[in-house]
Structures are given as structure tokens and as C-alpha cells.
Chains A and B, each alone.
Chain A
Amino acid sequence: MSQMKFEIPEIELMKSGHVACPGCGASMAMRYALKALGPKTMVVIPACCWAIIDGPNPCSVNGVPVFHCAFETAAITATGIKAGLKRQGKDDISVLAWAGDGGTFDIGLQAISGAAERNEDIIYVCYDNEAYMNTGIQRSSATPWGAWTTTTPVKNPKERPKKDIVDILLAHHIPYVATASVAYPDDFIRKMQKAKSIRGMKFIHVLSPCPPGWKSQAEESVHISRLAVHSNVFPLYEVDDGYRYTISIQPKKVPVRDYLKYQGRFKHLSEEQIELIQQAADRKWDILMKKVEMGELFMQN
């Protein structure tokens, strides 16, 4: 990757006074997203922690119009807003659907699939804290294998791997899909700005540490996010036009154990179980590298 200096925009749309827990990855993510998109933005928020974080009626910390919608409707409500704006000749406003993993991987999957298939001109960000946090840490299909939640207790932790949402979105042939991390704000902001410049459906998947849900320390959130990237648990990459894969941050290949150890939700795991997670992360990376190669091959031809 070519070296370039990247400045984080000074504009601060998200004001202080939000009601997220200390160390909430989701609140950091919104701050960066709004820095990237600027004031010509409207945000759609379904049921999730962010429905609370923004502040009670009539308060709002976001500094841009916010529409709260039902749990499963972020993608389609954003679509409706975009259609309304288009008919008023305000097509230059970015409409950002901002949903949790539950609202994206589970209950909202139908609506996001519909919007992606139609290639609606919206930016969809899923801040993924890997469980239903707002209702008190229940498992979602984004909860990783082996993790504790209140519905996957230590005696019977999550038995199935995390759903691959990026692949699901890619299967819809949309122009831009990326992963992002609050540990790399410059990368995240660049991706949001890129998303803003592209017509059609954009999907950005941000890992969002959640101290109460992950049983981690608030001050470790950014560190944990960085370890997720470098252990290949959550690699940072982007996919243009459905096939051009680019790795955004080269992982340092730290053992997954280093990532897991900061989080009480994995405390019960045995050595063998940690080894299985390691193998899954390695495999995921290998598959990703094959996709990068395949994309390069297509570009050559």
C-alpha cells in the first residue's frame, strides 16, 4: 500500500453528552462516521444500543437529522428517506443506516437483503458488538463460537460460528463492502468517505467492543479492537465491485489468545477450544488471501 498522510477531519458533529457506557465502541464509531460524512447526512437508527445512546426525546447528540425506526427496518427506512429526498432534488444527502448486529445479521436481514439486491443508494453501517446488548447481552448470529452471553451460559456457550455477514452482502453484487475498526480511525474514515462517493449500496462492518457485554475493561476497547485485527479474528479489508479485495491493515499475526484474554466472555474456554478458534482465524485469513488473489487475477484478465 502506498504511504499517504491522512488527516482526520476536524469537524465534530457528534456532541458530548451521549449516554453510552464508558469504552463503548459503537459511540466511537459514530463519531468517526459523522466526521467522514459531514453535515449533509441523515441517520436512521433501529432498536439497538444506539437508540438509547443518542439521548432521550427530544435530545440528540448527533448534530444531523436522526430517524428512529423499528428494529428490522434500518435498511428500508433509509431507502424510503433517500427516495423522498431524491424526489425533492436533495439527492446529495447521504443516508446512513446505523444498526447493531442483531438488527443486521438477524431480524433485519430480510430488509437489508432487499435493499442490497435493489442496490439502494444508502450507506449501511453495522456496528457489531456480537450480541443483543440493549436487551442485556443475549446471543445473536454474530456472537462468536464459544462466547458467553446470557442465553449461551458458560455451561452451554455458543455452539455455532459467527455468521459471515460480509459474504452475504457480497452475494448481492453491491459496489462496496468493507470492514472497519475503531482502532484504525483513519482507515475507517477513509472507507466512509469512499462509501459516500459511490452510488448504490455500501456496507461497512465495524467491530464494536462493548465492555459490559464482553466483560472487558473500558480503557481496553481500542486495544482489543486492534488485537482483533492483528489476530485475524476481524481482518480489515474492502471489496470493490464484489471482487476486488484489498487488505487494509497487514495483520501482525498475534495469537487469538491475546485477543481473547482481555474478555471475560471467553474466560471459560479450554486450551483446546482456544486452539480451535486459532485454527478458524487462520483458515479465515487463508481464504481471504485466496479471494485477494482471485480478484487480482480477474483484474489482469
Chain B
Amino acid sequence: MADSLIAEGLEKYFNPETTAEVKAIEGTHAASYAAKLARVKVVSAYPITPQTTIVEKLSEMCASGEMEAEFIKVESEHSAMACVIGAESTGTRSFTATSSQGLALMHEELHWATGARLPVVMANVNRALGAPWNIWADQTDSLAQRDTGWIQCYAESNQEVLDMIIQAYRLAEIVMLPVMVNMDAFFLSHTTEPVALPKQELVDQFLPEYNPKYKMDINDPHAFGGLAKPDTYMELRYNIQKSMEDAHRLIPEVADEFEKVIGRNHGGLIEEYQTKDAEYLIVTSGTITGTSRIVVDQLRAQGLKLGLLKIRFFRPFPVKEVQSVLGKIKKIAVIDRNLSFGRCGIFFSELQAALYNCECRPLLNGYVAGLGGRDVTPKTIEKIVNHLIASEKGEDLIWMELNI
């Protein structure tokens, strides 16, 4: 039974008709191969652990000619983002990657990319911020960029990293907004998994050449980004919000299109696992999802009606999707590997806000776990489920496995 399931799963993942090669690679290299397959023409990046291997692989591929792109080895992440902004302004597909401190340094330019309506795609490795130094998994880096206008996606596997970067370009270039594809430090970035590299011609079919309506062009000169006074600025922000709403609608469509051509679908803004008859629900993002799947299977085997909701996109936030799942559920545990000081886990507070206008509001608990790369094991998740079942009223912030 298990063997046939695995075989079926493998067939779905590594469809020989759409796959050029199955490679055992780490998450960072999945990102590098994705950039290559997307036919990125300009790469600019600055090294930071655990993103470095993305940059190294890309340098190698650019140097060998395997990838036909300019690689600008800048002196900072701020410049890396400014560089891809410049390149994108000419209508050239560009890529960068960073993590943690580097993402924080980019902050100003993240806003600029959005405001300039440039479909930059970036891989971010979710790593904790200092002080003190910590290089391990934590999502607070990207979640702190919530209001920059970037579409944010969180991957669970290396395959998802690769597929989502390719899909990100498709989406970004339709809605003219930048996209950040996030992966957990080490749990994905440095963990080797088999990844199916799709055939180039199929990626080309899915992702047409980038040719924006407006770009820097000497035959049609315009100024981009000049002073917008109060009489126009607000409309420009409104347009960005509208494009975010378009993205919300398009994310599942792009995923379906990808499935048609390449044969894999990781879901839309959310992915439901065993939610049909569920009374209890765990809400996760990133690699904690994979661990939670196992716990769901185990506890279901013992008769508990437990389901799992994976949030794949944080911006736009899947408000209506979440509402439609949660209606039937009695109690929900949100697990956050991140924290907004003075409040609670960030996915939790977003989810809580999304439910406020809902008719039926289930009990909601927020669990903060695994900050700074601490393991979140099946045991941790079991503890969370047991705590949830015993809860009589919701709590916003529950610290898991704190040693004090």
C-alpha cells in the first residue's frame, strides 16, 4: 500500500513526459535552476548564509554559459535590489536572492520595486534576525516586509521552491508586482531532496518572453517614478491594491496552467489536507507543514478528526479561502515560526483578523514555536493538538517548549 502510494506520488511529481531530469539538490539550488529555467537575463545578488549557494550556483551557470545572463556581483543587498530594479525597468527579466539581514537592508528598495511596478522575483531564505546572530530558520524576516507590496509565497519542499519561482514570473509579469518565494533556512535551503527539473521547452511554453507595455525606451521616452502629488499618489496605491486583488484571483489559475503544462499543482493560496470532516485544524506554513502532515495521519489513525491548512501565500492573504475552510471547524491551532513583539505570531494575527467578519468563529489558539531554527518535531505538534483539544477559550500567544 505504502509503496504504491509512493510510486503514485513519484509519478505525479516526476512525470517523465514533462521532466528533463530528476536531480537530488538542496533548496537553494532548486532556486538557482528555477532562475535558469525562467530564462532570467540579469542576476544581481550579495551572499548571506544560507542563501549563498543560490548565488554560487548561479555564478557557475552564468560563467559556464549554461545560463545566458549578466551576473552583477554587487557590494550589498540594497544594491542587488536596486540593480534588478534598473534591469527590470528596461523590460529585462531579473532575479535576486537573499535572507534575513540582507532582506532587512533591502527594505527601501522593496517598496521601490512595487511602486515602480516592476515584476522582480526574489528567493528569500527565511532566517532569524540579529542580535544575537542566528542563521537558522525563522520567518520574521519576510513577514516584517508585509507592507512593501510584494506578493509572498512560502514553500514546503524543494520542488515547490523550483515550481513557485517559475510560476512567480508568470504571475508577476501579469499583475506587474514583485514576488518573493520563501524557503526555511536549512530545513529546505540545505536539505537535499529529489527535484524534477521540467523540460525547458515546456517552461518556455508556460512562461512567455517578458515584454512589458511600458519600459525605458529611447524611442518612446518617459520619466518613471517622478513626483506624484497628493492628487495622484492615492490612485497609484489603489492600482497596486487592485493588482494584488488580481493576483489573488490569478494565483490558482496560474497554478492550474502550470499543472496543464508541467503536470504538478501545489495548490492555490492555501492547501487543504484532510479537512473534509475535520473538527480540529492545524494552520501552518513552510516546512512545519510537512511535519504536521505526519501528525495528522497518526492522530487520524487514532480517530481524531484533525485537518491541516497550509497557507502558501501570505500576500495577498487568503481571507476568503480561509473563511470557507474554517466554517466547519471547532478549534484551530495556528503554528507560527515568527513573532511580532508585543502581539503574537504573525500568521495567527492575520488569520484572526480574517475571521472577525465571519459568521461562525471557531476557537483560535496561536502557538509560537521553533524560533531561530529550533526543531518543531512531531512531538511538538502533538502537544499543540492536545493543548488545543483541552482549550476552552482561545489564546493569542502560547509559547511552545520554552526553556525558562
Contacts and interface: CB of A to CB of B under 8 A. Distances in A.
B83 A65 contact: no
Interface stretch (B69-77, B122-130, B335-343): B69-77
Contacts of A70: 82, 108-109, 112
Given A59-B226, A81-B86, 6 more contacts: A67-B89, A80-B84, A82-B86, A87-B87, A110-B79, A111-B75
A51 B218 contact: no
Contact of A118 (B72, B87, B90, B232): B72
Contact of B90 (A81, A111, A113): A81
A128 interface: no
18 contacts: A57-B226, A57-B228, A57-B232, A58-B226, A65-B217, A67-B216, A69-B82, A70-B112, A73-B82, A77-B89, A79-B83, A80-B82, A82-B86, A110-B75, A110-B76, A111-B76, A111-B78, A118-B72
Contacts of B90: 81, 84-85, 88, 90
Contacts of A57: 223, 225-229, 232
Nearest to A72: B78
A78 B89 CA distance: 10
Contacts of A118: 72-73
Interface-centre pick from A39, A64, A73, A90 (highest chain B CB count, 10 A): A73
Interface of B: 41-42, 44, 69-70, 72-76, 78-79, 82-92, 94, 108-109, 112, 216-218, 221-229, 232
Given A80-B83, A81-B90, A84-B92, A67 B225 contact: yes
A42 interface: yes
A54 B226 contact: yes
A66 B88 CA distance: 14
Contacts of A90: 90
Interface string A226-267: 000000000000000000000000000000000000000000
A111 B216 contact: no
B79 A68 contact: no
Given A81-B86, A81-B87, A87 B42 contact: yes
Contacts of B216: 42, 65, 67, 81
Interface-centre pick from A40, A41, A68, A118 (highest chain B CB count, 10 A): A68
A242 B82 CA distance: 28
Contacts of A79: 72, 83, 86
Given A65-B218, A84-B42, A44 B223 contact: no
A87 B82 contact: no
A292 interface: no
A263 B284 CA distance: 65
A65 B220 CA distance: 8
Contacts of A113: 75
Interface-centre pick from B88, B91, B112, B227 (highest chain A CB count, 10 A): B227
Contacts of A65: 216-218, 221-224
A62 interface: yes
A160 to B, nearest CB: 25
Contact of B222 (A44, A58, A78): A58
Contacts of B89: 67, 77, 80-81, 84
A177 interface: no
A52 interface: yes
Nearest to B74: A114
Contacts of A165: none
A39 B41 contact: no
Interface in A148-197: none
B79 A76 contact: yes
- List the 10 closest A-B pairs by CB distance, nearest first: A80-B86, A114-B75, A60-B223, A84-B90, A84-B92, A68-B225, A73-B82, A84-B87, A80-B83, A66-B223
Contacts of B86: 44, 67, 69, 76-84
A63 interface: yes
Nearest to A69: B82
A68 B116 CA distance: 9
Interface-centre pick from B83, B108, B221, B232 (highest chain A CB count, 10 A): B83
A68 to B, nearest CB: 3
Interface string A66-109: 11111011001111111111111010010000000000000000
Given A67-B225, A73-B78, A40 B83 contact: no
Interface-centre pick from A42, A51, A77, A88 (highest chain B CB count, 10 A): A77
Contacts of B76: 110-111, 114
Nearest to B75: A114
A87 B216 CA distance: 14
B275 to A, nearest CB: 44
A83 B226 contact: no
Nearest to A82: B86
B235 to A, nearest CB: 11
